[in-house]
Structure 1
Amino acid sequence: MPKMKTCRAAAKRFRVTGSGKIIRRQQNRSHLLFHKSPKRKRRLAKTLVVSSSDLPRLMSQLPYHSVN
């Protein structure tokens, strides 16, 4: 059986923390920022923990990352 391939797009977008959680950046903060308030941009700058309903899909895309 050959090795499973890591989905490179997912590997660039998600990080696994030391405790095994997957974190991601928020959307809507790359361009067209002039009409967004500073409060909204501050909130969008923070990272989020991936929802538990998305974990099975991500675990198949990142087979060599230890996810709890």
Structure 2
Amino acid sequence: MKTHKSTSKRFRVTGTGKLMRTRQGKSHFRRNRSGRLLADLPEMHEVDATQVKRIQKLAPYLDKK
């Protein structure tokens, strides 16, 4: 089964198996945001449990890196 390439670039799997994503809004209209907000943006966040199954279907080999 093929991996959906944009999905594989947007998500990472931690060592404990959690599916992580980056926060949105990191580049577009960046100048309008405060420095404090921009400092928090690069943090990775855990994907909601309702979306995990969908992402695993799109990228079945994501956790096998």
Q: State the TM bucket, normalised to the shorter chain.
A: 0.7 to 0.9
- Equivalent position of 1:43 in the other structure: 40
Mapping of 1:1-68 within 5 angstroms? Answer: 4-66=1-63
Larger CA Rg, structure 1 vs 2: 1
Query: 5+ unaligned residues in a row in structure 1: which ranges?
Result: none
State the TM-score, normalizing by the size of structure 1: 0.83
Query: 5+ unaligned residues in a row in structure 2: which ranges?
Result: none
CA RMSD of superposed structures (Å): 1.5
Runs (4 or more) in structure 1 with deviation over 3 Å come to none
Larger proportion of helix:
2
- Aligned residue for 1:6, secondary structure, equals coil
Aligned-pair identity in percent equals 35
Number of aligned positions between the proteins? 64
